[in-house]
Amino acid sequence: MAMTKRLASTVLAAMALAVPTLAVAAPAHADPDTDFYNELHIYGIYGEKDYNAWIGKIACKRLWNNLDHDANQSAQFVKRQLAKTTTTEQTYQFLGAAYRTYCPEKVPILTQMAQPAPGADTPPAPAGPPLAAEQ
């Protein structure tokens, strides 16, 4: 009986400890800027957390406001704001993470870019008679 009581109190104590831990962890995880910051580290992109968050959010805003119209323009904007050593690959990794975090509805414009335009693989129709140089 004493044994059971002790076990019960241990379990309760463990639960009491676990509940505040969960409560603290949940808001921290819900901060998109922190998630974004952590994801950037996977790609080897460092720099100040708030700065990178601003750039990610402004990249989305530029699409919403029709200042940038496609992923290419968006990437050009981002690359200018990041360290000069940032590669093109890292630029697009930054962009992908920014869209997923701050404007998920814009993610398709990245996948559109990765796919060839419809009809791009069909050979172009011959345009008019051959030029003099080709004859």
Partner 1 sequence: MLGKASIVAAAVSMVAMTIPAVASADATDDYPIPNRILKTTCTVDQYMAATRDTDPIYYQRYMIDYHNRPVDVQDAARDRIYWFFSLDYAGRRQYSEDTATNVYYEQMATHWGNWAKLFFNNKGVAAHGTDVCMNYPPNDPTVWDWT
- Site residues for partner 1 per CB under 8 A: 51, 54-55, 58, 61, 65, 67, 77, 80-81
- 114: which 2 tokens? 């990765």
Find the shortest distance in angstroms from Cβ 53 to partner 1.
10
Cα 1 vs. chain centroid, distance in angstroms? 56
CA distance 108 to 9: 53
User: Closer to partner 1 at the Cβ: 29 or 61?
Assistant: 61
Find the shortest distance in angstroms from Cβ 134 to partner 1.
40
User: Closer to partner 1 at the Cβ: 43 or 73?
Assistant: 73
List of long-range contacts for 35-38, beta carbons under 8 Å, 24+ apart = 35/101, 36/97, 36/98, 36/101, 36/102
Residue with token string 């700065």: 51
Cα 81 vs. chain centroid, distance in angstroms? 16
Find the shortest distance in angstroms from Cβ 51 to partner 1.
7
User: Closer to partner 1 at the Cβ: 39 or 81?
Assistant: 81
